[in-house]
Amino acid sequence: MVLGFTDARVVGRGDWVWLGNYIKLFQDDTFRTALLNTFAYTLVVVPVGMAVALLIAIGLNVQIRARGLFRTLFYIPVVTSAVAVSTVWLWIYNPSSGLANEVLAFFGIGRSGWLTDPDIALPALMVIGVWQGLGAKMIIYLAALQGVSQELIEAARLDGANRWQLFWNVTWPALRPVQFFVLVTSIAGSFQVFDLVYVMTQGGPANATNVLTFDIFTNAFSRLQIGYASAETVIMFVFVGIMIYLGRLTQRDRKEL
């Protein structure tokens, strides 16, 4: 926070510029693009990832064959190196021989430049972000689902509740504390996305996948503008706090509001 008020560089002491870095940041088109990209990534990856992970957890919370195997397969991306994951997806998104384009060609759809088209590059990274985060969320939801009171479920069934009514009136309220935990960790994680961008796109094409963490990295370690990057980090911290607070509002009962 202190460095954000200086023009500090890697070598030598910086002078105080007070709000100069912050004024310059909001006049910087690259920073505004990175901020918008980060918000777009968060607003898609967090809710979609939570919804899909909950559906998978519900599906794996019943007695099915090879349930342990399926749980392991969904969790593997969490413990796999981000560089390895990125390398595999680089092959999948390869414009000439990648699996994604082969699937499109099978259905008679034209090939796409997944990571070279500015309109598609960020959504392509969103798909990876959702997939990579499913395992951790799924494990948390599974633990929460196994803690739902069976007495309440049996009582609701005796009262004639169907599956949807059981989920909405019994399971969903029991999951609310876990929902908030998953929401907070997901928002924090999505704002810190870096590995995918660094390995797969380097912020391109045309800044289409430039996000806050990559822009901070570029300013700090490529341009050596430590003070400027520090101010950008403080802004990211503030926005993460705002997003978490807004998420907290969605977890409150109407009576609390």
Cα 142 from Cα 64, distance rounded (Å): 14
Answer whether residue 254 shows pLDDT above 50. no
Q: Say if residues 96 and 180 touch (Cβ distance below 8 Å).
A: no
Distances (CA, A) of 75 to 38, 88, 134, 197: 25, 17, 7, 22
Q: What pLDDT was estimated at residue 12?
A: 65
Rounded to the nearest integer, the mean pLDDT of the chain is 89
- Indicate the pLDDT class of residue 257, thresholds 50, 70 and 90: very low
CATH number at residue 129: 1.10.3720.10
Residue 255 pLDDT grade (very low, low, confident, very high; cuts 50, 70, 90): very low
φ, ψ of residue 16 in degrees (nearest 5): -70, 130
Number of domains in the chain: 1
* Residues 6+ away with beta carbon under 8 Å from 121: 114, 115, 201, 204, 205, 208, 209
Could you tell me how many residues make up the chain? 257
In a domain, 225, yes or no: yes
Task: Write out pLDDT tens, residues 152-179.
Answer: 888 888 888 888 888 888 888 888 889 9
Collapsed DSSP state (helix, strand, coil) of residue 108: coil
Q: What angle do CA 30, 20, 218 make, to 5 degrees?
A: 35
Average pLDDT of span 178-205: 92
- Residue 248: the pLDDT is 79
Q: What was the pLDDT predicted at 203? A: 92
Question: Is residue 256 situated within a structural domain?
Answer: no
**Is residue 257, in this structure, part of any structural domain at all?**
no
Give the per-residue pLDDT at 215: 95
Residue 255 lies in a domain: no
Instruction: List the domain range (segments joined by +) for residue 79.
Output: 3-250
Question: How confident is the model over 41-80, as pLDDT tens digits?
Answer: 999 999 999 999 999 999 988 888 888 888 888 899 888 8
> Which single residue is written with the structure tokens 């980060």?
38
pLDDT in tens, 11-26: 667 789 989 999 999 9
